[in-house]
Amino acid sequence: MSNKTSTDTRQLRAIGHKLKPVVTVAGNGLSDSVLAEIDAALSRHELIKVKLAVGDRALKAAVAGELCARTGAEAIQSIGNMLLILRRAETPDPRLSNLIRPL
C-alpha cells in the first residue's frame, strides 16, 4: 500500500500502543454495520485499534485479512485480540504527519 520503513512501522506501533479499541468484532463477524463503523473510524483517524473476539488464532487471522481487504486498510500489528490498522486519509491525521505519506 505505501512505502513504509521499519522506522515508520515502529512509530505507528508506538502511537497505536496507547489507543483504545474503537470497534469490537465478535461472534457475528464482519457485518455491514461493523464494517461501516470501521470505515468511518479510519476516515476520521487513519490509525485505529480493533478488538477481534472471534475465536482461535486461525479465525482471527482470517477475519483480520478480510477486514483489511474490505476496508482498504493495512495491518500494522496484531497482538492477541488486538489489531492495529492504518488507512491513509485525504486529510492527514496530525498524529501521523511526521511519517512518510504515500505518493
Q: One digit per residue, pLDDT tens: the chain, 103 residues?
A: 456 678 889 999 999 999 999 999 988 888 999 999 999 999 888 999 999 998 889 999 999 999 999 999 999 999 999 999 999 877 666 766 666 554 3
Report the DSSP pairing between strands 21-25 and 74-79.
unpaired
Of 35, 41, 51, residue with least CA distance to 84: 51
d(CA 93, CA 8): 15
Residues 6+ apart with CB under 8 A from 50: 21, 22, 23, 24, 25, 38, 67, 82, 83, 84, 85
Map out the domains of the chain with their CATH numbers: 21-89 (3.30.110.60)
d(CA 37, CA 46): 13
Predicted pLDDT at 1: 43
